[in-house]
Structure 1
Amino acid sequence: MTEPVDPDPVDPDPQAPAPPLSARVRDQAPVVGVVAIGGALGACARYGAGLLWPTAPGAFPWTTLGVNAVGCAVIGLFMVAITEMWSVHRLVRPFFGTGVLGGFTTFSTYAVDIHGLVQGGHAATGLAYLAATPLIALGAVWGAAHAARRLIARRQT
């Protein structure tokens, strides 16, 4: 009988010296680069959505809610695709998942929107938005991942 392979092996020599800083920086430079490029693309897309569908002061921020919901749904589809369907290059996940979708979704604007609504005398709208966004975002991730898995299962039968 063979011993099972540990998917996360522990370094056999914890006293071994770490690689030099220059090697660690060199190894991570492509990752940092693709995250930056992806983040710029995602942020431009989010900015464009805000220009196309501006939110009036004191109004419910539908555009930001929609951007966050779409971004969360795409991350649900994307993670299922790259973990359960395809083998992808090591830079795809940081480029698209962290960069593009991280730049596209905007939970910092969500916080600023809530603050602006509350300070502007629209506390009920701000509280509704505060509650709705995480529920819709989590539902979008779960729903998209669930749908992607069902499609995979249907294609395999």
Structure 2
Amino acid sequence: MSGAGWTGWPLVALGGAAGACLRYVVDRAVQARHESVFPWGTLTVNAVGSLLLGLLTGSAWGAAGPGAALLGTGLCGALTTYSTFSHETLRLAELGRARAAAANAVVTPVVALGAVWSGLVLVRYLAG
């Protein structure tokens, strides 16, 4: 592996540790406020993480380097969660909550893609 690969991993690990902890705290806080089987916490972290990644991608921090490793790959990569989204969607279907599962399967990707695009557009607009 090249030198660049070995030097960036501590930043990815640090960002990932922060992102995973943040994901857990936000997910639990959001889910505690809803008496619904719908995974609002996971949807929230995926939307926020995607928006943040869009903002980073459009900024100087999004360029390859320490900022991208720490904040993009590390923080946003751990904050967002495709595996939990998939598991929760499957679990809803297994519990007979087909409409909630279908809603989650459609809404989450649309919201996440919309959030990353919005962040990118916003940074580009502000940069002129």
Give the TM-score normalised by structure 2.
Answer: 0.89
Q: Is residue 70 of structure 1 aligned with residue 70 of structure 2? A: no
Q: Is residue 138 of structure 1 aligned with residue 113 of structure 2? A: yes
Q: Which runs of 4+ in 1 moved over 4 A?
A: 55-58, 86-89
User: Separation in 2 of the partners of 1:64 and 1:100?
Assistant: 15
Check the 8 A contact 1:114/1:130 in 2, yes or no.
yes
Change (3 A) 1:118 1:87: closer
Give the TM-score normalised by structure 1.
Answer: 0.73
Check the 8 A contact 2:62/2:72 in 1, yes or no.
no
Check the 8 A contact 1:80/1:149 in 2, yes or no.
yes
Output one character per residue of 1:26-65: Cα deviation in whole Å (capped at 9) or x when no partner. Answer: 5422211111111111000001112222367971111110
Moved more, 26-35 or 121-130: 26-35
Change (3 A) 1:58 1:34: same
Q: Is residue 126 of structure 1 aligned with residue 104 of structure 2? A: no
User: Map of 1:1-157 to 2, 5 A cutoff?
Assistant: 24=2, 26-54=3-31, 59-82=37-60, 90-153=65-128
User: Separation in 1 of the partners of 2:62 and 2:124?
Assistant: 16
Query: Structure 2: any 5+ residue segments left out of the alignment?
Result: none
Query: Structure 1: any 5+ residue segments left out of the alignment?
Result: 1-20
Check the 8 A contact 1:43/1:103 in 2, yes or no.
yes
Output one character per residue of 1:114-151: Cα deviation in whole Å (capped at 9) or x when no partner. Answer: 01100011011001100111111111111121121111
Q: Select the structure that is richer in helix.
A: 2
How many residue pairs get aligned? The number is 127
Change (3 A) 1:131 1:110: same
User: Which protein has the larger Cα radius of gyration, Structure 1 or Structure 2?
Assistant: 1
Output one character per residue of 1:50-98: Cα deviation in whole Å (capped at 9) or x when no partner. Answer: 222236797111111011011111111111112xxx6978211111100
Q: CA RMSD in A?
A: 2.2
